[in-house]
Amino acid sequence: MKIVVCLKQVPDMESKFKIIDDKKIDESQIAFKINDFDNYAVEAALQLKEKLGGEVIIVSAGPARAQKDIRQAFAMGADWGIQIDDPAIEAGDNFVVATSLQQAIASIGDVDMVLTGVQAEDDQSSVTGVMIAHLMNTPHVTNVVKLEVNGKDLTANRELAGGKNEVIGLSLPAVLAIQSGINEPRYPTLPGIMKAKKKRLDVKKAADFGAAASAKTEFIKMFVPVSEHKAEIIQGDAKTAAAALVGKLKNEAKVL
Amino acid sequence: MAKILVIAEHFNGKLEESTLELCKAAKSLASALGAEPAAAVFSKDDAMAKETAKYIPTVFSVTDAGLENYSPDGYTQAAKAVVESQDVKGVLIAHSYYGVDFAAKLAMVLDAGIVSNCNKIAVDGGQVIFTRNTYNGKIQENKKVKTDKFVATFEKGAFDMEAAGGAGAVTAVSAAIGDIRTKVKEIVETMAGAVDISQAKVIVAGGRGVKDGDKYKDIIVPLAKKLNGEYAASRPVVDSGWTEAARQVGQSGKSVTPDLYIAAGISGAIQHVAGMKGAKCIVAINKDPEAPIFNIATYGIVGDLFEVIPAMMENL
Of A123, A128, A163, the CB nearest to B134: A123
Interval A49-66 mean pLDDT = 98
Q: State the amino acid at position A216 in one-letter form.
A: K
Q: How does the average pLDDT of chain B come out, rounded?
A: 96
DSSP A151: T
- CB pair distance less than 8 Å for A255 and B185: no
Of B185, B253, B295, the CB nearest to A168: B185
- CB pair distance less than 8 Å for A246 and B316: yes
A-chain CB neighbours of B308 within 8 Å are 238, 241-242, 245
The residue of chain A nearest to residue B115, with distances taken between CA atoms, is A217
Contacts of residue B4, defined as CB under 8 A and 6 or more positions apart, other chains included, come to: B26, B29, B30, B33, B35, B36, B37, B38, B88, B89, B90, B92
- Pair type for strands B150-154 and B113-124: parallel
pLDDT digits (tens, 9 = 90+) for B79-117: 999 999 999 999 999 999 999 999 999 999 999 999 999
The residue of chain B nearest to residue A172, with distances taken between CA atoms, is B181
Residues facing B284 on adjacent strands: B263, B300
B-chain CB neighbours of A166 within 8 Å are 70, 184, 187
Q: Which of these, B121, B46, B39, lies nearest to B88 by C-alpha position? A: B39
ipTM: 0.95
Contacts of residue A144, defined as CB under 8 A and 6 or more positions apart, other chains included, come to: A44, A156, A157, A158, A159, A176, A177, A178, A179, A182
- Percentage of chain B surpassing pLDDT 70? 100
Q: State the amino acid at position B93 in one-letter form.
A: I
Best of A116, A153, A160 to mutate (most B CBs within 10 Å, chain B): A160
| Three-state secondary structure call for residue A161 | helix
Min Cα–Cα distance to chain A from B54, Å = 25
- CB pair distance less than 8 Å for A155 and B185: yes
**Distance in angstroms (rounded) separating the CA atoms of residues B197 and A205:** 51
Best of A183, A220, A252 to mutate (most B CBs within 10 Å, chain B): A220
Confidence grade of residue B8 (pLDDT, cut at 50, 70, 90): very high
Confidence grade of residue B310 (pLDDT, cut at 50, 70, 90): very high
Interval B11-23 mean pLDDT = 96
Confidence grade of residue B291 (pLDDT, cut at 50, 70, 90): very high
Min Cα–Cα distance to chain A from B13, Å = 16
Min Cα–Cα distance to chain B from A111, Å = 18
Does the pLDDT at position A228 exceed 90? no
Element (H, E) at A33: strand A32-34
Burial B192-201 (b: 16+ CB within 10 A, else e): eeeeebbebe
Interval A75-97 mean pLDDT = 97
**Distance in angstroms (rounded) separating the CA atoms of residues A174 and A183:** 20
- CB pair distance less than 8 Å for A232 and B298: yes
Residues facing B262 on adjacent strands: B204, B283
Q: Which of these, A48, A12, A52, A14, lies nearest to A32 by C-alpha position? A: A12
**Distance in angstroms (rounded) separating the CA atoms of residues B222 and B230:** 10
Question: What are B296-300's contacts with CB under 8 Å, separation 24+?
Answer: B296/A229, B296/A231, B296/B268, B297/A231, B297/B263, B298/A231, B298/A232, B298/A253, B299/A231, B299/A232, B299/A233, B299/A234, B299/A245, B299/A248, B299/A249, B299/A253, B300/A231, B300/A232, B300/A233, B300/A234
pTM for the model stands at: 0.94
Q: Identify whether the C-beta of residue A66 lies closer than 8 Å to the C-beta of residue A137.
A: no
End-to-end CA distance of chain B: 64
Q: Identify whether the C-beta of residue B301 lies closer than 8 Å to the C-beta of residue A233.
A: yes
A-chain CB neighbours of B190 within 8 Å are 163-165
Q: Which of these, B90, B35, B44, lies nearest to B68 by C-alpha position? A: B44
What pLDDT, on the 0 to 100 scale, is given for residue A229?
A: 85
Of B97, B135, B288, the CB nearest to A143: B97
Does the pLDDT at position A226 exceed 90? no
B-chain CB neighbours of A138 within 8 Å are 181
What pLDDT, on the 0 to 100 scale, is given for residue B82?
A: 98
Min Cα–Cα distance to chain B from A5, Å = 19
DSSP A163: G
The residue of chain A nearest to residue B133, with distances taken between CA atoms, is A124
Does the pLDDT at position B155 exceed 90? yes
Element (H, E) at A98: helix A94-108
What pLDDT, on the 0 to 100 scale, is given for residue B251?
A: 86
Does the pLDDT at position A227 exceed 90? no
Helical packing angle, A128-136 and A94-108, nearest 10°? 50
Min Cα–Cα distance to chain A from B225, Å = 13
- CB pair distance less than 8 Å for A163 and B191: yes
From residue A12, how far is each of A34, A53, A121, A163, B99 by CA, in Å?
A: 9, 33, 9, 28, 27
What pLDDT, on the 0 to 100 scale, is given for residue B194?
A: 85
- CB pair distance less than 8 Å for B146 and A232: no
Please give, one letter per residue, the 3-state secondary structure of chain B. CCEEEEECCEECCEECHHHHHHHHHHHHHHHHHCCEEEEEEEECCCHHHHHHCCCCCEEEEEECHHHCCCCHHHHHHHHHHHHHHCCEEEEEEECCCCHHHHHHHHHHHHCCEEEEEEEEEEEECCEEEEEEEEHHHCEEEEEEECCCCEEEEECCCCCCCCCCCCCCEEEECCCCCCCCCCEEEEEEECCCCCCCCCCCCEEEEECHHHCCHHHHHHHHHHHHHHCCCEEEECHHHHHCCCCCHHHEECCCCECCCCCEEEEECCCCCHHHHCCCCCCCEEEEEECCCCCHHHHCCCEEEECCHHHHHHHHHHCC
- CB pair distance less than 8 Å for A216 and B102: no
A-chain CB neighbours of B257 within 8 Å are none
Min Cα–Cα distance to chain B from A47, Å = 17
What pLDDT, on the 0 to 100 scale, is given for residue B141?
A: 98
pLDDT digits (tens, 9 = 90+) for B191-209: 888 899 999 999 999 999 9
- CB pair distance less than 8 Å for B283 and A238: no
B-chain CB neighbours of A186 within 8 Å are none
- Opening angle at CA B208, ends B204 and B212, nearest 5: 90
Min Cα–Cα distance to chain A from B163, Å = 23
The residue of chain A nearest to residue B265, with distances taken between CA atoms, is A14
DSSP A208: G
Of B134, B185, B309, the CB nearest to A122: B134
Q: Identify whether the C-beta of residue B275 lies closer than 8 Å to the C-beta of residue A237.
A: no
Helical packing angle, A67-76 and A190-198, nearest 10°? 120
Q: Identify whether the C-beta of residue B230 lies closer than 8 Å to the C-beta of residue B224.
A: yes
